[in-house]
A and B are shown apart, each in its own frame.
Chain A
C-alpha cells in the first residue's frame, strides 16, 4: 500500500451481529491477552472488569415473536466531534493518562499516570472504562501465565480496551526489522478478532481501501451534512454506530440485516427513527 505510507492509520472494527452467537470467546481471549484479573464474585457487572463485554439485546416482543441478538462492546476508540481526536474521555482527563493517537486513531490508557479520578468513566457514553477498586490477586501460581506484553494494573486506576496496542507494536517492530515501511492487514489483529469462532469481528485500517473493514463500512470521509460533528458515517445501509448522533465518532461499527437491531444503536423519539433510518453516508462524496 504505497499510497498509504504517509497517511495516518485509523484502526477500526466492524462486528456482524447476525453472525455473533454470544459465545463469549472474545471476552475470554481479551482477558487472557491483557492480564485482566478476576475475583470471587463477578456477578456485579458494574465492578466486573471486562474490556470486551457482550450485551444481550431483545426486540421487546412477547412470546413467540421474541428475538435476541448479542452485541460485543469493546472501547469504541472515539475520534470525538469532527473526528479531531477530542474523545470524550481524553478531553476530561486531568493527568493526560488517556490520549488520542493521531497516527493510529487508538485511545490509549497509561496506568501509571492515572490517579483514579474517574472523570473519563463519567464522560464515556459506552461504559467501556473500568475502575480497579481492588488490587488484582491471582491464585497461587497463576501469575505464571501473565503476559509480559501488558502490565498488570493496580488498585486505583482506570483501564479499558486498547485494541491490543501491543500487537500493533509487535507487528511494527517486525516490519521495521524486515525493512518494511508498513504492516500488513493480517499482522495486526486484536485478540477478540482472532478468537471469534464465528468470524463476526473484522479489524483493520478504516483509512485503507484494501482492508476488509473499509470495504464493509465504506466510511464517508466528509462530515454528515445533517450534523457536522459526525464524520465517517457508513455508506453501507446495514452498518451503524452506537449513539452516532452524539458526534463521538466511534471506530467500532456494527452490522445487521435486522432493522430492530440497528434501531437499538441509539435512543429515538417517536417517529424519529423512520425519518433517519434511510440516511447513510453520502455516496456522492466519493
Chain B
C-alpha cells in the first residue's frame, strides 16, 4: 500500500482521535495516580477500640502515675495520670517514651547462656535448673556468703524477694546501687540514727537553698519537682542555686551562686558558721543536738569563717553572710542536697553539712522544711526458715560496705571472694565510676546471673541472662523513694501481654528458691510473684488495687528528732578530685538522658541538643576563658590521669572558668544503634575516690587537661 500524504494525515488524525476517545489514557493516568499514592512499605496502624489503663512508671525512683492509651490490645501512647499524688498529670520524656522499651532492639527475648564469648538461647526450665545447680554447689562447699546480689534499691517486694533469697541461702552480701534515696538514708543515719530517711517539702517552702541539686534536671521525683518549681512564682518562694555550672536549675533560679566544684560542703559549713555566730539559729532546735554540737561550733568558727570559706569556695564572703542570713530568716527555708540527680558520687561531709543547715534553723518536721522520719515499711514478709548453713553464712560480715567496695575487694583479692552474683535492675558496668575496673571485677566472678530486660553492658558480662518483663508487662509495687515529702506506693500493672519469652524477676527468684529445696524453698511458699505481692502487701492491697496507689504517710511528721553532728565536728577532709591537672572535669546531669541502669530511648536521644551530642562525638562545655586556642565546635583531646578522650568543644559562658562539663548518660555500648555508640560514658573517665569515715565514693569529677586534637 502506498502511503501518500493524504492517507498519512488521515491515519495520524485517526490515531489521535482514537487515543483521545479510548479510555486507555484515562485509565493509565488514573492507575498511575493510584500507584504513586500507594506506599505499601509505610505501615498503616490498625484501628480499634480506644481504652485507657492506669499504671505506675518504674523507670526512675520518681514513681509517677501513668495513663496508657490502648487500641484494642496495643498500647499506643503513655501520658501522665491526672490526680495522681506524685505527678498529677505531667510526665517526663522517658516515661512518655516508655513504649520504645517494649520493642527495644537490645531486649533479651529468651533466657541466654554464655558459651565462650557467645550467648546461646536456652529454655527457662534449663536456665533455672542451671542457676539452682550452681548455687547448690556453692552451699555444699560451705561458703553461701559468696553469693552476692546487686539491685537498684532496697525497697519494694521484688528487692525484698532477692534479699530473702540471699538471707535463707546464707549470705549477707546484698548491695544496692547508689541513689538519692540511699544517700538520704546515709545522711539520716549519720545525723539522726538508724532506720531514718529524709524528705523535702519543696511545694511549701518559701526559700529553697539548693547545693547543686538539679531540681529540674531529674533530681528526686522529677515531675513532682517540676511542679513545685513551676508554682514558685505564684507562692513568692525563692530558689537559690549553688553550682559551678549554669544548669537549667540555676538558670531558672532566682539566684545562681557559682562555686568551685567539690567545695559545696565547705560553703555549707561556712553558712553554718555565720548562722551560729550571728545567733540566727533556732534556740529550740539546737536543744535537739545531742552530740558534737559544741565541738562543731568551735571548729567551724575557726576553720570556716566567711573569709576563709570564700577562699576555698570562690564565693564572696559578703555573699556567704547574705545568703546564710536570708536562709535563716526565711519563714520556711529548706536546704537540699545531692548534686545533679542525686544518684552520682556524693560525700557524706557535704550531705551532712547541708542538712546541718536545716537542723540549725529548726525546719525539721515543719511545713516547708525537711521531714525526718522512720523509713516506711508497708511490706510484711513471713519469717524465713533458716537452716544452720543459712544462719552461719548470714551472720558473717558483708564483703564490703557499699557496692564500690565490693568491686574493689573482688579486684584486689587473688582468691574469689564472690563466687556467684545476681544483678537486678542495675547496670554497674556502666553507671559506677571507672567502669573498666567494674567490668574486670564482674569478669572475675565465676558465675554471674543478670535479670535484665536488655542486653546491657552488665548483662553482656553475665553467664546467664534471665530476662525480666519491662515495667509495662508486669505487676509490681513501686514505692516512691526520692526525697518526696509524702510517702506513696504505686502499683505498676501489666498493660500488655509479655512481648517476648520473659518472666517477672520475682517469679524467677521464687522458681530458683523452690529448685534449691529445703529451708529455702520453705521460705518461698507462693506459687507466683503476683500471689506473693498480694499477701505481703496485704495491709495496703485494697487501696493499691483499687486506686492504683496507697499513701503511707502525708503531711508534716510529728515530733522532733535528735541531731548528732560528731562526724562533722571532727572536720573530715573535703574529698578532692583525683589528679594534678589544672582543670576539673565534672559530670553534667541532663534531663533528656538517663545515667542509671537503662539507656535513654530513641525519642529521648532525638531531643538531645547538637551542643551535647554531634554524630558520635560527645560535646563538652567549657568557658571561652579556659578554652585558650580551642575553637567552638572544634575537636580537642581531654587527658585524665589515666586516660584520654576525643571530644568536641562547646564554648559556654555558663561554665565556671577552670571547669569542663561532660554529660552523663551517653557512650552505651550495647546493640541498639539508636542509642548506643554515641559519645563517651563519663563514668569511664572518672576514678572513684573513697571518703574516709563514710566509705562512699565521693569523687565529683576528675582533674584533666585539654589540648587541640
Q: Which residues of A approach B to under 8 Å, CB–CB?
A: 18-19, 21-25, 27-29, 31-33, 35, 38-45, 48, 50, 54, 56, 58, 61-64, 66-70, 112, 135-136, 138-148, 151-154, 191, 194-200
**Partner-contacting stretch, out of B35-43, B380-388, B695-703:** B35-43
Contacting residues, chain A, for B607 (C-beta < 8 A):
24, 27-28, 50, 54
Contacting residues, chain B, for A141 (C-beta < 8 A):
102-103, 499
Contacting residues, chain B, for A199 (C-beta < 8 A):
90, 227, 230
B226 lies within 8 A of A198 (CB): yes
Contacting residues, chain A, for B542 (C-beta < 8 A):
none
A28 lies within 8 A of B653 (CB): no
Known: A42-B605, A138-B43, A148-B46. A24 touches B592 (CB 8 A): yes
Q: What's the least CB distance linking A95 to chain B, in Å?
A: 13
Known: A25-B96, A32-B78, A63-B623. A148 touches B71 (CB 8 A): yes
Question: Is the CB of B75 closer than 8 A to any CB of chain A?
Answer: yes
Known: A56-B609, A197-B227. A140 touches B42 (CB 8 A): no
Q: Which residues of B approach A to under 8 Å, CB–CB?
A: 37, 39, 41-48, 69, 71, 74-80, 87, 89-93, 96-97, 99-100, 102-105, 216, 222-223, 226-227, 229-230, 233, 246, 248, 251-252, 256, 258, 499, 591-592, 601-611, 613-616, 623-625, 653-657, 673-674
Known: A41-B615, A144-B103. A31 touches B90 (CB 8 A): no
Known: A33-B77, A43-B613, A68-B246. A38 touches B93 (CB 8 A): no
Contacting residues, chain A, for B45 (C-beta < 8 A):
35, 143, 146-148, 152
Contacting residues, chain A, for B603 (C-beta < 8 A):
27-28, 31-32, 38
Selected A-B contacts with CB under 8 Å, 12 pairs: A21-B252, A25-B92, A32-B77, A48-B606, A64-B258, A68-B248, A69-B251, A195-B96, A197-B92, A198-B216, A198-B227, A198-B229
Q: How far is the CA of A102 from the CA of B605 in the complex (A)?
A: 37
Which chain B residue has the least Cβ–Cβ distance from A144? B74
Q: How far is the CA of A146 from the CA of B623 in the complex (A)?
A: 43
Q: What's the least CB distance linking A252 to chain B, in Å?
A: 19
Which chain A residue has the least Cβ–Cβ distance from B218? A23
User: What are the 6 closest A-B residue pairs judged by CB atoms, nearest first?
Assistant: A197-B90, A68-B251, A28-B93, A197-B226, A146-B45, A21-B216
Which chain A residue has the least Cβ–Cβ distance from B48? A148
Q: How far is the CA of A22 from the CA of B650 in the complex (A)?
A: 18
B222 lies within 8 A of A143 (CB): no
A29 lies within 8 A of B79 (CB): yes
Known: A56-B609, A197-B222. A145 touches B93 (CB 8 A): no
Which one of A38, A135, A138 has the greatest number of beta carbons of chain B within 10 Å?
A: A38
Selected contact of A21 from candidates B89, B591, B609, B656, CB within 8 Å: B591
Q: What's the least CB distance linking B110 to chain A, in Å?
A: 15
Selected contact of A68 from candidates B47, B258, B605, B654, CB within 8 Å: B654
Q: What's the least CB distance linking A138 to chain B, in Å?
A: 7
Contacting residues, chain B, for A135 (C-beta < 8 A):
39, 41-42
Contacting residues, chain A, for B608 (C-beta < 8 A):
42-43
Which chain B residue has the least Cβ–Cβ distance from A150? B45
Q: What's the least CB distance linking B61 to chain A, in Å?
A: 16
Which chain B residue has the least Cβ–Cβ distance from A115? B36
A25 lies within 8 A of B93 (CB): yes
Contacting residues, chain B, for A67 (C-beta < 8 A):
246, 251
Which chain B residue has the least Cβ–Cβ distance from A200? B230
Contacting residues, chain A, for B92 (C-beta < 8 A):
23, 25, 197
Which chain B residue has the least Cβ–Cβ distance from A42? B606
Known: A22-B591, A35-B45, A154-B42. A194 touches B105 (CB 8 A): no
Q: How far is the CA of A48 from the CA of B610 in the complex (A)?
A: 11
Contacting residues, chain A, for B69 (C-beta < 8 A):
147
Contacting residues, chain B, for A18 (C-beta < 8 A):
233, 252
Which chain B residue has the least Cβ–Cβ distance from A147? B76
Which chain A residue has the least Cβ–Cβ distance from B246? A66
Known: A24-B607, A27-B93, A63-B655. A139 touches B42 (CB 8 A): no
Which chain A residue has the least Cβ–Cβ distance from B233? A18
B610 lies within 8 A of A64 (CB): no
B103 lies within 8 A of A58 (CB): no
A23 lies within 8 A of B76 (CB): no
A140 lies within 8 A of B216 (CB): no
Q: What's the least CB distance linking A162 to chain B, in Å?
A: 16
Q: What's the least CB distance linking A215 to chain B, in Å?
A: 15
B90 lies within 8 A of A145 (CB): no
Q: How far is the CA of A135 from the CA of B614 in the complex (A)?
A: 23
A198 lies within 8 A of B75 (CB): no
Q: How far is the CA of A198 from the CA of B592 in the complex (A)?
A: 15
Q: How far is the CA of A200 from the CA of B91 in the complex (A)?
A: 13
Contacting residues, chain A, for B614 (C-beta < 8 A):
43
A197 lies within 8 A of B87 (CB): yes
B230 lies within 8 A of A145 (CB): no
Contacting residues, chain A, for B655 (C-beta < 8 A):
63
Known: A112-B37, A197-B223. A23 touches B591 (CB 8 A): yes
Q: What's the least CB distance linking A85 to chain B, in Å?
A: 27
Known: A31-B606, A43-B613. A19 touches B80 (CB 8 A): no
Which chain B residue has the least Cβ–Cβ distance from A113? B37
Which one of A27, A28, A67, A146 has the greatest number of beta carbons of chain B within 10 Å?
A: A28
Contacting residues, chain A, for B96 (C-beta < 8 A):
25, 28-29, 32, 195
Known: A31-B603, A63-B653. A45 touches B610 (CB 8 A): yes
Contacting residues, chain B, for A22 (C-beta < 8 A):
248, 591
Contacting residues, chain B, for A147 (C-beta < 8 A):
45, 69, 71, 76-77
Contacting residues, chain A, for B99 (C-beta < 8 A):
32, 145
Contacting residues, chain B, for A27 (C-beta < 8 A):
93, 603, 606-607
Q: What's the least CB distance linking B415 to chain A, in Å?
A: 44
A64 lies within 8 A of B93 (CB): no
B609 lies within 8 A of A195 (CB): no
Which chain A residue has the least Cβ–Cβ distance from B226? A197
Q: How far is the CA of A39 from the CA of B674 in the complex (A)?
A: 7
Which one of B45, B104, B592, B623 has the greatest number of beta carbons of chain A within 10 Å?
A: B45
Known: A63-B258, A144-B103. A21 touches B592 (CB 8 A): no
Which chain B residue has the least Cβ–Cβ distance from A19? B230
Which chain A residue has the least Cβ–Cβ distance from B612? A43
Contacting residues, chain A, for B654 (C-beta < 8 A):
58, 63, 66, 68
Q: How far is the CA of A39 from the CA of B43 in the complex (A)?
A: 16
Q: What's the least CB distance linking A6 to chain B, in Å?
A: 31
Contacting residues, chain B, for A197 (C-beta < 8 A):
80, 87, 90-92, 222-223, 226-227, 230
Contacting residues, chain B, for A64 (C-beta < 8 A):
246, 256, 258, 656
Selected contact of B42 from candidates A61, A70, A153, CB within 8 Å: A153
Q: How far is the CA of A40 from the CA of B46 in the complex (A)?
A: 26
Selected contact of A194 from candidates B42, B89, B591, CB within 8 Å: B89
Which chain B residue has the least Cβ–Cβ distance from A60? B653
Known: A66-B654, A195-B80. A23 touches B216 (CB 8 A): yes
Known: A146-B43, A194-B80. A38 touches B674 (CB 8 A): yes
Q: What's the least CB distance linking B267 to chain A, in Å?
A: 15
Q: Besides A42-B606, A141-B102, A197-B91, 17 other CB < 8 A contacts?
A: A23-B93, A25-B90, A25-B91, A28-B93, A29-B79, A40-B673, A54-B607, A63-B653, A64-B256, A141-B499, A146-B76, A154-B39, A195-B91, A195-B96, A197-B87, A197-B223, A198-B216
Which one of A54, A66, A69 has the greatest number of beta carbons of chain B within 10 Å?
A: A66
Contacting residues, chain A, for B42 (C-beta < 8 A):
135-136, 152-154
A139 lies within 8 A of B591 (CB): no
B77 lies within 8 A of A58 (CB): no
Which chain A residue has the least Cβ–Cβ distance from B250? A68
Q: What's the least CB distance linking A53 to chain B, in Å?
A: 9
Which chain A residue has the least Cβ–Cβ distance from B69? A147
Which chain A residue has the least Cβ–Cβ distance from B50? A170
Contacting residues, chain A, for B674 (C-beta < 8 A):
38-40, 139
Contacting residues, chain B, for A32 (C-beta < 8 A):
77-78, 96-97, 99, 603
Q: How far is the CA of A195 from the CA of B657 in the complex (A)?
A: 37
Selected contact of B105 from candidates A23, A139, A148, CB within 8 Å: A139
B592 lies within 8 A of A43 (CB): no
